[in-house]
Copies of this chain bind each other. A is one copy, B any other.
Amino acid sequence: MSVPLEPTDQAIARELNANGRTSFTDLAERVGLSVSAVHQRVRRLEQRGVIKGYTARLDGEQIGLPLTALISLTPNDPAAPDDYPQRLEHIREIESCYSVAGDESYVLLVRVPSPAGLEDLLRRIRESAKVSTRTTVVLSTPFEGRPAAL
């Protein structure tokens, strides 16, 4: 299950993780290979799923989603089949969904425009997944989405 990444591929992955728009030309210089060699490696990393995608990180405040929260889920019926992620997938306010070890079963990271938006979101989560929720409101985000510690 997953060969440890070769040093060159690791360097490429690290660079693209830190700057997702680095050109192949720059990458080639940094890892000491020709542009075409790097090009091939990046495509392979994408195919293998080492690179899952590219995204611009946006400032929640400025895009109208200033309220972030962590929501922990507990199933209402512990005997029900565990298809919670599927039941929640359609809710676009949910950015991430983690299955966790602990008192609760899942933790969601969500972004909403306002307290009213959060209230409505919680209602939809409870209805869609038949869970009870415990919400931790994020007051501020000192940092987020930093480069991986490769």
Residue numbers of A with Cβ under 8 A of B are: 1-2, 4-5, 10, 13, 16-21, 48-66, 68, 70, 85, 89, 92-102, 107, 111, 136-150
**How far, in Å, is A133 (CB) from chain B's closest CB?**
13
B100 lies within 8 A of A146 (CB):
no
B144 lies within 8 A of A58 (CB):
no
**Number of chain copies forming the complex:** 2
A55 lies within 8 A of B111 (CB):
no
A13 lies within 8 A of B145 (CB):
no
- Distance, CA A13 to CA B18, complexed state (A): 19
Given known A-B contacts A139-B100, A144-B96, A144-B97, A150 and B55 have beta carbons under 8 A apart: no
Query: When the two chains form the complex, which single residue of B48, B52, B54, B143 contacts A21, counting CB atoms closer than 8 Å?
Result: B54
- Distance, CA A150 to CA B3, complexed state (A): 37
Given known A-B contacts A101-B137, A138-B100, A63 and B50 have beta carbons under 8 A apart: yes
- Distance, CA A2 to CA B144, complexed state (A): 20
Chain B residue with minimal CB distance to A146?
A: B95
